[in-house]
Structure 1
Amino acid sequence: MQSLKLIDGDLVIEGGDLLMIDGVGEVIQCADLVLGTNQNEWFLNPPLGIDFGLFRGKNPDEEMMKEDIRRALHDHEPRIQSVDQIDFTYDMKNRNMEITFLATTTEGKQLRSEVGLDAR
């Protein structure tokens, strides 16, 4: 499958042409979009995304956050067979969180990605 290439949510244009992305990179981009969307935020697909409320506050429950990530990826990215590892890195000073996940596609390919969230 092919998609338009995005960087920080913006279309990538090179030499006047929109760039495309495919393969594992495209699966990662789609997974990152799922995890970067607050559930009920997009009116065309309210179930898309994760519940940002679980990721905010002083003592977020990591098991609940991991379960929500697995649910979102399973429900909205059918090319991901399993989510094998999820790690969180907190930047308390700036109130940011980075989610790193390792997953296996339905084709048996391994993928790794990081998604940053504002934890305020």
Structure 2
Amino acid sequence: MYKNTFKMVGGDIVVDGDLILVDGQEELRQNIENRLSVNVGEWFLNIGMGLDYAAISGKGIEDRGIEFALRECCFQDDRVKEVRDVRVKRNQETREALIEFVIIDKEDSPLYMEEVVNLG
């Protein structure tokens, strides 16, 4: 069910004398983080992948709209069974939101996530 992939920190591949691989839930975490950092239509190899930033940016966007866009993005990975406990904490000064949520994978294991997104 899980794959092996390169360990990434801050979008950079980690090299410690050799490439480091991750698997299991850490690989799923990286996959979701990468999807959330890409705007839908931005990656030419899969224009349907990513977070719909247009749906979460600008005035009048409600927390439930942010939650919907987050869920839609997470479910792009077929290993995600459920997204629970989504909490949006807005910072009006920086126009960002800290989003905390729990992913339940196909093995019914929880994965606790948080992501900061720019609300524009």
TM-score by length of 2: 0.90
Aligned twin of 2:63: 62
**Does residue 1:30 correspond to 2:31, yes or no?**
yes
* Residue range with higher mean Cα deviation, 97-106 or 56-65: 56-65
User: Which is bigger in relative contact order (C-alpha 8 A, separation at least 6)?
Assistant: 1
Aligned twin of 2:44: 43
More strand by share: 1
Deviations 1:73-93 (A, max 9, x none): 21x211111111211111211
Give structure 2 stretches of 5+ with no counterpart.
none
RMSD: 1.3
Distance 1:37 1:109 in 2: 25
Aligned twin of 2:111: 111
Aligned twin of 1:10: 12
- Alpha-carbon deviation of 1:112? 0.8
- How many residue pairs get aligned? The number is 118
Moved over 4 A (4+): none
Distance 2:58 2:69 in 1: 16
Distance 2:35 2:65 in 1: 17
Deviations 1:51-89 (A, max 9, x none): 111222233122222122222221x21111111121111
Which secondary structure does the structure 2 equivalent of 1:104 belong to?
strand
Q: Identity of aligned pairs, percent?
A: 26
